[in-house]
Amino acid sequence: MNEREPVVIKQTTVTLPFLDDEVPALYLADGRPYIPVFAVCHALGISPASSIRRWRNLALWVTARKLPFQTKKQGRRLVWCL
């Protein structure tokens, strides 16, 4: 693992407010949850690829991080999280 890559302390699921969808959440040492963008897009029914391109120009992207996400079948991969 790269030294500059943040270490994920815990990976669990949380329920999104107002949408009632369960999505994965990654917790870093600071205790804040980071939700993968693909999960948010899936809950909203929109395409992650085009959304990421558009959202990168918004103020909400200031807190975005690329974090290692552990999948059941594909192993660990880096995903954008908010």
Burial class for 12, CB neighbours closer than 10 Å (0-12, 13-18, 19+)? exposed
Query: Cβ distance 4 to 46 under 8 Å?
Result: no
Q: What is the pLDDT of residues 4-53, one digit of tens each?
A: 666 778 888 888 888 888 889 999 888 888 999 988 888 888 888 888 88
Quick one: which of 59, 62, 58, 18 has its CA closest to 40? 18
Q: pLDDT at position 5, please?
A: 60
Q: pLDDT at position 25, please?
A: 92
